[in-house]
Each structure stands twice: as structure tokens, then as C-alpha cells.
Amino acid sequence: MKALILAAGLGSRLAPITDTVPKSLVPVNGQPILFRQIECLRSNGVEDITVVSGYLADTLEERVQEFYPDVKIVRNEDYKTTNNMYSALLGMRDFAAFDDINLMMNADVFIDESVISALLECPAENAVVVDLGRYLEESMKVVADSDGRLVHISKQIGPDEALGCSIDVYKFSNRGMQAFEKICCDYIEGQHELNMWSEIAIDGAFALERFEACPLDGRWLEIDNHDDLAAAEALFA
């Protein structure tokens, strides 16, 4: 099993905290978001972890290597002009090979260990963790067909169509990861579109491989601003 954590972003809405600390290292009740994710992965037997750094990369890399020396770091030197699809491609390119189970997540989501447990136990080879029935304007939403296959992921999906909110945690089979990588390459290398969300490529991968929703098991909160941080500290108190 492999895991890829995308942690290159600026986190400008969490300033002044992020003036000196990358967003992924912002603490929730004393525990950095990224460290929480690493602990959740390791407690579920996922040891092969790659983090893509960018903003304040030196700080992130020093902290990660201090506490988790086995975690690999790939640096996105172009983090100011790219988005997390570009970071995802950099991370995938650093893999010697894809495994049968490959996880990916954004480094701004504080989660319970059970979220990863449920995803690994989910029978679908390719899956998106979904908070079923929940609708948040700021979150990615997913649409499924009558057979349970996911057909669309976007922030622009309306409440009448949405199955629920994606929490930005994903599982790919070897074939699913290849499909995702292909779409990333099509945009980045074929069309020279560098500033795009990884979910745009995941949306394209839905047409190439079957993806299903993995029902959320546990708590989660995406932390983009100070209100989110306060809400996370209350939720995970």
C-alpha cells in the first residue's frame, strides 16, 4: 500500500499562522494536520508515504524528517503557479510503481483513524470517501448513477444531484491510479494546464475506471480558514 499526501499549498486564509508555518503543519489541539494524517495511515498499516511539499518546504521537510524519517518528500518548486493536480503528478512520478492499493489526500483535512480503516475495507477497488447526504458549498460533491458508479465530482454540483461531499480522501487500484495519472498528463503535458485541481483529473478518470463512494466512518473537517480551525478544535476536543 502507498499513500500520497498533497501539501504544497499556501494556506493564505490561515495567516498570520501560515506566515511561518505551512498549512499542513497548522496544529489542531496541538497536533499538526499532516502528522494526524500520517498517524492515521500508519495505524492502518500504510507505511509507504510520500508528501509533496511546496510553500515553506524547508520547514515542512525538517519537521517531517524529525518525527517521520521514513516518509518521503517530493518538492513542488512551482507551487506558486501550479495547483494540486501538478503536485499529484510529481508525487506519482516519484513512485517506483503503483501498488494494488494507492491512497491520496489533501493535507488540510483533519480526520479520524476510522476514515482510513473504512476506506481500506471498502470493497470498491477505486473509491472516494463521501459524507453521504451532506452538502457544503465549499466542498467537492459527487454524483452517482443508478448502479452506484461515480460519474462526476465538482464543487459546482447542485444539492438535487449530489450524493454527498467528498472529503478529499481517495483510494485507487493500480489501474485506477494509471487512469488518474493519464488524465493528469493530458492536462499538464498535453494542454499545458498547470493550475488545476486534482479532482478535475479524478472526474476524467471516472470515465476510464469504475469508482464508487466509500461512506464516511468517523469525523472530518477541511481546514481552510480560522473559523474552520476553531471548528476542528471543538469537533476533535
pLDDT digits (tens, 9 = 90+) for 163-216: 999 999 999 999 999 999 999 999 999 999 999 999 999 999 999 999 999 999
Which ranges in 44-193 belong to alpha helices (H)? 57-67, 84-94, 113-121, 174-185
Domain CATH for 190? 3.90.550.10
> How many separate helices (H) and strands (E) can be counted in the chain?
7, 13
- How many domains is the chain partitioned into structurally? 1
Task: Using alpha carbons, select from 75, 27, 20, 3 the residue that is nearest to residue 223.
Answer: 27
Report helix, strand or coil for 55: coil
pLDDT score, position 96: 82
Ranges of the chain whose pLDDT falls below 50: none
Could you tell me if 176 and 209 are in contact, meaning their C-beta atoms sit under 8 angstroms apart? yes
Placement of cell 502507498 in the chain? 2
**Quick one: pLDDT at residue 233?**
98
Structural domain boundaries, residue 13? 2-235
Please report which residue ranges of the chain form alpha helices under DSSP H. Answer: 33-43, 57-67, 84-94, 113-121, 174-185, 198-205, 226-235
**pTM, to two decimals:** 0.96
